[in-house]
């Protein structure tokens, strides 16, 4: 998956379209993520020791990964990302618009290192 926890994303569809926020949680198997302040719903909660008053709590629910774009740190625009190997064999994400690196993706592979 091209988006990680802590990344800044821009929602491109739905009620919250155009909102930029931080990713709180990523579920790779389901292809969904939870974004701060996006897709909020009211959850009805029973009274308990943990929640003595009960009532309705506002929570963020997951949205599809296809409905968000990663925001580039250097150019500040929502963009698609690519993956490339560096000279030392490590793989990194990069911005397709400005070409800036956006951090490593996995462990370095020695067979991909340039000699």
For residue 115, pLDDT over 80 is answered with no
User: Given this model, what pLDDT does residue 110 score?
Assistant: 78
Under the banding of pLDDT at 50, 70 and 90, the label for residue 1 is confident
Q: Which residue is listed with tokens 């959850």?
A: 43
The two structure tokens encoding residue 81: 């990302």
Output the pTM of the full model. 0.83
Q: What is the pLDDT of residue 114?
A: 80
Residue 2: pLDDT above 90?
Answer: no
For residue 86, is it within any domain? Answer: yes
Identify whether 77 is part of a domain: no
Asked if residue 92 and residue 56 are part of one domain, the reply reads no
Q: Which two tokens stand for residue 9?
A: 């994303």
CA dihedral sign of residues 96, 97, 99, 104: negative
User: Within a domain: residue 76?
Assistant: no
Range of the domain at 12: 1-71
Answer yes or no: do 67 and 86 share one domain.
no
What is d(CA 36, CA 62) in angstroms, rounded to the nearest whole number? 10
Among 32-41, 54-63, 96-105, 106-115, where is mean pLDDT lowest?
A: 106-115
Quote the number of domains for the chain.
2
Q: Are residues 50 and 106 in the same domain?
A: no
Same-domain pairing of 61 and 88: no
């Amino acid at each position: 998956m091209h988006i990680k926890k802590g990344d800044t994303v821009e929602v491109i569809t739905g009620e919250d379209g155009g909102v930029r926020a931080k990713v709180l949680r990523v579920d790779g198997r389901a292809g969904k993520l939870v974004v701060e302040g996006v897709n909020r719903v009211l959850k009805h909660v029973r009274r308990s020791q943990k929640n003595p008053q009960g009532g309705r709590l506002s929570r963020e629910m997951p949205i599809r990964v296809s409905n968000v774009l990663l925001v580039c740190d250097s150019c500040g625009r929502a963009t698609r990302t690519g993956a490339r190997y560096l000279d030392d064999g490590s793989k990194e994400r990069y911005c397709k618009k400005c070409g800036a690196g956006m951090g490593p993706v996995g462990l370095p592979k020695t067979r991909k290192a340039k000699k």
